Structure 1
Amino acid sequence: MAEIEGETAPGFEGVRDAFAANFAEGAEVGAAVSVYRHGEKVVDLWGGIADPQQARPWQRDTLQAVYSTTKGATSACALLLVQRGELDLDAPVRDYWPEFTAPVKVRWLLTHQAGLPALDRPVPLADALAWDPMVDALAAQRPFWTPGTEHGYHGLTFGWLVGEVIRRVSGRSLGTFFRDEIAEPLDLDFWIGLPKPQHHRLSRIVMPEPDPDAMAGFNLDDLPEQLRDVLAAYTDPTSLTSRTYDAVEPRMDNNDPDVLAAEIPATNGVCTARALARFYAALIGGLLEPDTLALATTEQAAGRDRIMRIPVRWSTGYALWTSEAPWLPQTMFGFSGLGGSIGFADPETGLAFGYVMNRLSDGLTPDPRAARLVTATINSIKEQR
């Protein structure tokens, strides 16, 4: 059984028990979880193996690629510019990015309503890592729906779209802006574009093992209609869903040092669980002023997402609570990532939460590891009231 290291404040021992249970059941290889309450650290735990190929243990400062959990950091950069009066959410994107052709408001980039989740032709991986070829392609792309009328998860393009607006306004790349304005002032182990000298601290991602018997006796017609719709969207290579995740060809690999060294603000953030929780603690602790924080917590679009094919609720830059993950606080805002990582804050209870891990889940259902940890955290808070 993996040794669990770290600390919990009195009353939060249940989170340690939940974290240990994830390992005991074989659900984890290496992982970390951190919780802040009203700006104070109450949970900081880690354990397991960071790199199975080298049998390297997970340490206090082990870094983890967190996929779309990165989007929460990217959104915060945009909201800081809004807070400073340098970015108008209701202005056309072309006011800041003249080459951009679609009739899209800045706000719609952050609420996944721009209609630009995919490209007519996938961009080669080398071009995606170089930045300019990707933003040039997005600037010329016709929307797949009338902007502002529907919402669909911009799984990859979100980062380049929001990041290029930030670059045009601030004169700095998204990764540089995040480092200068958020990560370094808060002393966070959090990067979008990981410097090569930090790569030795990285955990290695462990992909889910395929189950050859999983489809035995499987009948698509036996599934509920929504699940049939989801599976059809993800398995049809011509669907807009598949094209969204295939906007870069070949797909990016977050075990690739070149991918992690580039700036991919939708998917290649690297951090510790501690940094992720502290980041969200800062958002509700004064980094975002009340009017700006309200943008992050107020619903802007809701209903079945055109890309993910499940019900979602979007604020300006963040995901909000839905019944798809009932274990989350109903007043939370945050972002989760491929395979299970999640960061969020709940202004009502002063809770800020970060969970990172290297074994990816299959992604078909909400991750039970995160659900167990969040549930234990909420129960610990309830018991102290």
Structure 2
Amino acid sequence: MRSFIVGLDPGEVARLARLSAAIGFPVGVLPGLDALRLELARPGVGRALVLLPDLGLTRDAVRLAAEHGDTAFIVVVADTIPPDDYKALVRTGAGEWIQWGSCEVELADLVKRFAAPAHAGNGARIVTFAPSKGGVGNTSLVAEMGVLLSGPKAAGGRSGSRVAVLDLNFQGGTLADTLAVEPRFDLAEVAGRPERLDEQLAEVFLSCYADRLDVFAPPPRLVMLDDITPNLVFTFIDTISPRYDLVLVDLPSVALGWTETLIEGSDAVVVTGIATVPGLRRLCDRLSRIDDLSTPARRLAVVNQADTDMMGRFVRRAEVDRLLAGRDNLLVRRDCAGMETAANSGQPLVEIAPDGRLGRDIRRIAKWIEAVAARPAESARGSAA
């Protein structure tokens, strides 16, 4: 097995070499990237595992993974990594990031799996639903989107995307109740041991709602949120991503250590709020904080539970448009009876009343997601056909 360390800091290189030797994983130390490229260019000697214990080499790691993915698996070892670089590295299918704090465990896992061929394609598009406060109907909208985007399309009866809905409300999540499935996503079981996450465990965690819609929803039990580390969350998303076209993420209303990084790494972000004066203020605040993050993702503001007049027109449309000027925004009307029926039946409203006005509001969100996030995957499938 070929394996190399390249780094600019002699102390970090030596530390990583000692950790590797301790788990029976011998590595060679190379003086720089030029020497590494010579090694990777040697024909007929198999794939190499490359460890780069230097944050300054992150961009080089992405380029190496893109250029040499058939002959090498590139690993950045650092406490943090720029979200855009991490996203680009993982999407090559030939790279990963591990943290110093869990380095020994993660290296052991990499030794077992790095020789497997890189997965084809770019993995799922990640669409994150971020509530501006509690009680804005974020989970209900995620459930509606999952059913819509995975179901038969109106045009020609085409099959929908392969979709996973992922509930990250580890304390008090309601996605399983909303879709009437068994909550099996017990990520706390592997807290501190992300190396246990693999395809087989992902199968244990999922609940199947429909042929092309899988649900990952946590069971109702007390979870210490500090145990759900960023590495655990991101490793799980990386594990399931190759199986789907879209992963729809239901974020909690509270900010956790991995929340902003997940938003930064998403392909699209749907920020949800309600049409009250305090609710609109919180929505604008949330959007402003997301604007400050280094993310290129498109953002949609969804104002939920908006009142309408006798003609079905939104009564505060002008105020909402003024507050959200220059942003993509959609209003979803209040329909307490319809949503209560959906909640009691365990079926999304788009299934029990697909032609109602509220259903049409919800479909507009799905169309926005398709246009922003799903189009590259659709284009790839179309060109292959």
Normalising by the residue count of structure 1, what TM-score does the alignment of the two structures yield?
A: 0.26
Which fold has the larger relative contact order, with Cα–Cα distance below 8 Å and residues 6 or more apart in sequence?
1
Normalising by the residue count of structure 2, what TM-score does the alignment of the two structures yield?
A: 0.26
* Structure (1 or 2) with the larger CA radius of gyration: 2
